Structure 1
Amino acid sequence: MRDFSLPPIVEPLPTGGLADSVYDVAERDPKLLQLSRRSSGPDGDEWLPVTAAEFRDEVMGLAKGLLADGVRFGERVAVMSRTRYEWTLFCYALWSIGAQVVPVYPTSSADQVRWILSNAQAVAVVVEHEDHAMTVGAACDELPLLRSIWQLDADCVRQLTDRGQDVPDTVVHRHRRAVAPQSVATIAYTSGTTGLRPRGCVITHANLAAECDTLYEGWQGILAEQGEQPSVLAFLPLSHIYGLMVQVVCMRGGVRLGHQPDLAPAVLLPALVSFRPTYVFAVPYIFEKIFHKARRTAEEAGRGDLFRRAVDVAVRHAEEVERRDKGQGPGPGPMLRAAHAVFDRLLYGQLRDVLGGRVRHATSGGSTLDRELGLFFAGAGIIVHDGYGLTETTAAVTSQPPGHPRFGTVGRPLPGCAVHIAQDGEIWVRGDVVFSGYHDDPEATEAVLRGGWLATGDVGCLDDGHLVITGRKKDIIVTSGGKSVSPQILEEQLRRHPLISQCLVVGDNRPFIAALITLDPEASEHWHRLRRRLSPPAQGVTVDDELHAEIQRAVSMANSAVSRAESIRAFRILPAEFSMADGLMTPSLKLRRGAIVRAYASDIEELYAL
Structure 2
Amino acid sequence: MTRPDPLPTLPAFIAERLSVPRAIALAERHGGTTRALSSGDVHRRASAIACALRARGIERGDRVAILSENCVDWLVADFGILYAGAVVVPMFATSAQDQIAYIFANSETKFAFVENAGAAAHVREAVPAPPPLVSFAGDTELGIEALVAEGEALLDADPSQLATFTAQTALDDLAVLIYTSGTTGTPKGVMLSHRNLSSNVHDAFDPDLSDLKEGESALSVLPFAHIFEHTDALGYLYNLATIYVTTPERLLEDLRAIRPSHVAFVPRIFERLIAGIVGNARVQGGVKAKLVPWAIEAGVAYERALRDGFVNPVLRVQNALAQALVLKRIKPALGLDRLGYFVSGSAPLHRDTALALAALGLPVCEGYGLTETSPVVTVNRPSNVKLGTVGTPIRNVEVKIAHDGEILVKGPNVMLGYYQLPPAEQPFTADGFFQTGDIGRFDGEHLVITDRKKELFKSSGGKWISPSRIETAIKRSIYVGQVMAFGDDKPHPAVLVAPNWDLIRKELELGAMTTAAMATDDRVRTLVIREVETHTADLAAFEQVRRVALLPRDLTIEDDELSPTLKVKRRVVERRYAALIEQAYTEDLHQRNALLHV
Corresponding residue for 1:6? none
- In 2, the alpha carbon distance for the partners of 1:26 and 1:560 equals 52
Q: Does 1:279 align with 2:262?
A: yes
- In structure 2, how many angstroms separate the alpha carbons of the residues matched to 1:219 and 1:583? 42
> Structure 2 vs 1, CA of residues 192 and 490 (structure 1 numbering), >3 Å: closer, same or farther?
same
**Contact 2:212 2:239 (C-alpha < 8 Å) held by counterparts:** no
1:186 paired with 2:176, answer: yes
For the 8 Å contact 1:222–1:402, the answer to whether it is kept is yes
2:494 to 493, 498, 514: 514
**Residue 193 (structure 1) shift:** 1.7
Residue 325 (structure 2) aligned to one of 339, 346, 356? 346
1:14 aligns with 2:6: yes
Judge conservation of contact 2:398–2:411 (CA < 8 Å) in 1.
Answer: yes
Post-superposition offset of 1:255: 1.0
8 Å Cα contact 1:12/1:206 also seen in 2? no
Question: Quick one: which of 148, 154, 167 aligns to 1:166?
Answer: 154
From 571, 574, 580, the equivalent of 1:597 is 574
Q: Which residue of 2 aligns with 1:294?
A: 277
Q: CA deviation at 1:543?
A: 4.7
AA matched with 2:328: G
- Counterpart selection for 2:133 from 149, 168, 175: 149
Flag the 1:197–1:490 CA change in 2: closer, same or farther, 3 A. Answer: same
Residue of structure 1 equivalent to 2:296? 311
Alignment of 1:561-572 (within 5 A): 561-572=538-549
- For 1:304, give the aligned amino acid: A
* 3-state SS, counterpart of residue 103 of structure 1: strand
Q: Is residue 62–residue 110 contact of structure 2 (8 Å, CA) maintained in 1?
A: yes
User: How much does 1:571 deviate?
Assistant: 1.9
CA-to-partner distance for each residue in 1:326-359, whole Å, 9 max, x for gaps? xx56xx6776556544433432233213144321
Amino acid paired to 1:153: A
List aligned pairs for 1:541-556, cutoff 5 A.
541=518, 543-556=520-533
How far, CA to CA, are the matches of 2:360 and 2:320 in structure 1?
A: 10
Quick one: distance in 2 between partners of 1:350 and 1:205?
A: 44
**1:419 counterpart SS class:** strand
CA distance in 1, matches of 2:219, 2:296: 27
**Whole-angstrom distance in 2 between the partners of 1:588 and 1:424:** 28
Following superposition of structure 1 onto structure 2, how do residues 451-600 of structure 1 map, counting pairs within 5 Å? 451-480=431-460, 482-510=462-490, 512-529=492-509, 533-534=510-511, 536-537=513-514, 541=518, 543-600=520-577
Say whether the 8 Å CA contact 2:100–2:127 is kept in structure 1: no
- Are residues 537 and 606 of structure 1, via their aligned partners in 2, closer, same or farther at CA, if it must alter by over 3 Å? closer
Q: Which runs of 5+ in 2 are unaligned?
A: 588-598
**Amino acid aligned to 1:210:** S
Residue of structure 2 in register with 1:38 after alignment: 29
Q: 1:346 to 1:215 in 2, by over 3 A?
A: farther
Aligned counterpart in structure 1 of residue 198 of structure 2, from 174, 196, 209? 209
- Structure 2 residue aligned with 1:4: none
Q: 2:219 aligns with which of 233, 244, 247?
A: 233
Distance, in Å, in 2 between the alignment partners of 1:199 and 1:552 is 38
Partner-residue secondary structure (3-state), 1:86: helix
Which residue of the other structure, out of 346, 353, 357, is the alignment partner of 1:373? Answer: 353
Judge conservation of contact 1:16–1:179 (CA < 8 Å) in 2.
no
> How far 1:609 sits from its partner (Å)?
3.4
- Cα distance between partner residues in 1 of 2:554 and 2:22: 46
1: distance between equivalents of 2:188 and 2:373?
14
Counterpart CA distance in 1 for 2:210 and 2:461 is: 52
1:97 to 58, 71, 84: 84
TM-score (norm. length: structure 2): 0.90
Q: CA deviation at 1:121?
A: 1.3
State the identity as a percent: 28
- SS for the counterpart of 1:106 is coil
CA contact (8 A) 2:204 2:210 kept: no
Q: CA deviation at 1:600?
A: 1.6
Give, as a single letter, the amino acid of the residue that structure 1 aligns with 2:291. L
Q: Which amino acid aligns with 2:396?
A: G
Q: Which moved more, 1:478-487 or 1:229-238?
A: 478-487
Shift of 1:557: 3.2
Question: Do the aligned residues in 2 keep the contact of 1:528 with 1:536 (CA within 8 Å)?
Answer: no
TM-score, with length taken from structure 1: 0.89
Aligned-pair distance for 1:412?
1.4
The letter of the residue matching 1:571 is V
- The amino acid that maps onto 1:198 is P
Cα separation, partners in 2 of 1:572 and 1:34, compared to 1, 3 Å: same
Gap change, CA 1:15 and 1:367, over 3 Å in 2: closer
State the superposition RMSD in angstroms: 2.5
Distance in structure 2 (CA, Å) of the matches to 1:565 and 1:313: 30
CA drift of 1:297 comes to: 2.1
How many angstroms apart in 2 are the aligned matches of 1:274 and 1:450? 52
Post-superposition shift, 1:25?
3.2
Structure 1: segments with no counterpart, 5+ residues: 1-8
Structure 1 window deviating more from structure 2 (97-106 vs 12-21): it is: 12-21
1:384 aligns with 2:364: yes
- Deviations along 1:74-115, whole A, 9 cap, x unmatched? 111011111111110100001101110001111111211111
Aligned to 1:3: none
User: Residue by residue, what CA displacement relative to the aligned partner does 1:238-293 show, whole Å, maximum 9, x if unpaired?
Assistant: 111111111111122211001113x24xx321121112211110000111111011
Q: Give the deviation of 1:363 after TM superposition.
A: 0.2
Looking at structure 2, the residues matched to 238 and 260 of structure 1 have their Cα atoms a distance apart, in angstroms, of 11
Distance 1:543 1:30, change over 3 A: same
Per the alignment, do residues 297 and 147 of structure 1 end up closer, same or farther by CA in structure 2, a change over 3 Å counting?
A: closer
Distance change >3 Å, CA 22–CA 351, structure 1 → 2? same
How big is the shift at 1:369? 0.8
Q: What is the distance in 1 between the residues matched to 2:581 and 2:5?
A: 51
Q: How far 1:218 sits from its partner (Å)?
A: 5.1
Segment of structure 1 superposing worse, 499-508 or 557-566: 557-566
